[in-house]
Chain A
């Protein structure tokens, strides 16, 4: 599918590039001026973040430029990495091994394939209905009854968050809105921009204005003002 490059797209891309150029310059000036040890560490961290942003923007722009397919591949990889991280931290047992193989190498690619062929009727229920039934069946065949419901629930939930939810980002591209044909790329752009601005704002607020810690056990560096920073962000 081809995406139209219109004025709004140019504004969006231009705005992001402008912000990045400004932050790179600011980071460079700060690195020259800051003298204290703690300050230097902060600036180093800040500049590493800015560099990561450049890379993210470059990859995302490349994916957008190739149209639908590039975006689908990008988000499929994102899903893969997220699921890998999720399952690594989730206690599974030997009996889950075959189910895990299924979710990584069959269900995940199939979900993105369904998105690519725009089969809305199937990709919107494929994981919550069919995959959710398949996982407990596969685990049951493996014959391990220990913590069966817990294990099944954890794998299902990992699949839901890391694959089903993430896959709906490139699915935005196949959304049919009357009078908005060919402009769906902007929806995806907006979605990613909002999510990432939330990340930037909580960092900036935490470093500058944050005072009261709301949940120190969760993230010792994130004070309460973060919530005010992130709250205007729609889901």
Chain B
């Protein structure tokens, strides 16, 4: 069922994965990507090799994925998504804490530090969650991911996909330097995602 779904996602989006400066591995990782379409978490997840895929959980918005039974089923049973509260996080319902728990000692995460899907071509500034995650989980590798064209396959507000060709690029891991400021790290992380556009 899972691999069927992954194959379907890859077929619809024609997405080919490019690994630039990192290789597919099963070690603990946080993939952080730009966000333009609901297909993003699905396609990044599907681009991973099967053994890494079973250990990797996409982080997704609970308000979208719990809207219908089918969505909830896909999110929970197919790609084992970590659904987080993004509208009004409280101390009790803190997405960051959820992500740390989900990482545990062997899992990987796919996160979208822009926080929401972008409609334009520009990337929004990254949210601080990525920085805190990097500080709390130094043993995980932080891999920049660039998804391209998926916003044309399924743009914001549409429900029927158009079968264009998308692509997913994985870049070299970045690390939080000792004493590095929050803003500096977030800018560097965003630049690492952008840099994949040309390579």
Chain B contributes a number of interface residues (CB within 8 A of A) equal to 12
The residues of B that contact A219 with a CB separation of less than 8 Å are none
Mask, A135-150, CB within 8 Å of B = 1, is: 0000000000000000
Quick one: which of B156, B163, B165 has the most chain A CB within 10 A? B163
The answer to whether A97 and B158 have CB atoms under 8 Å apart is yes
The answer to whether B158 and A104 have CB atoms under 8 Å apart is no
The residues of A that contact B187 with a CB separation of less than 8 Å are none
**B172 at interface, CB cutoff 8 A:** no
The answer to whether A84 and B119 have CB atoms under 8 Å apart is no
**Stretch in contact with the other chain, from A59-67, A86-94, A109-117, A207-215:** A86-94
Mask, B1-34, CB within 8 Å of A = 1, is: 0000000000000100000000000000000000
The answer to whether A88 and B155 have CB atoms under 8 Å apart is no
**B183 at interface, CB cutoff 8 A:** no
Q: Smallest CB–CB gap between A169 and chain B, Å?
A: 22
The answer to whether A84 and B158 have CB atoms under 8 Å apart is no
**B62 at interface, CB cutoff 8 A:** no
**A11 at interface, CB cutoff 8 A:** no
Dominant SS at the A interface? helix
The residues of B that contact A80 with a CB separation of less than 8 Å are 163
Mask, B148-190, CB within 8 Å of A = 1, is: 0100100110101011110000000000000000000000000
Give A contacts to B, CB under 8 Å: 80, 84-85, 87-88, 92, 94, 97-98, 100-101, 104
Give B contacts to A, CB under 8 Å: 14, 119, 149, 152, 155-156, 158, 160, 162-165
A selection of 21 A-B contacts at a CB cut-off of 8 Å is A80-B163, A84-B14, A84-B164, A84-B165, A85-B165, A87-B162, A87-B164, A88-B14, A88-B149, A88-B165, A94-B119, A94-B156, A97-B152, A97-B155, A97-B158, A97-B162, A98-B158, A98-B160, A101-B162, A104-B162, A104-B163
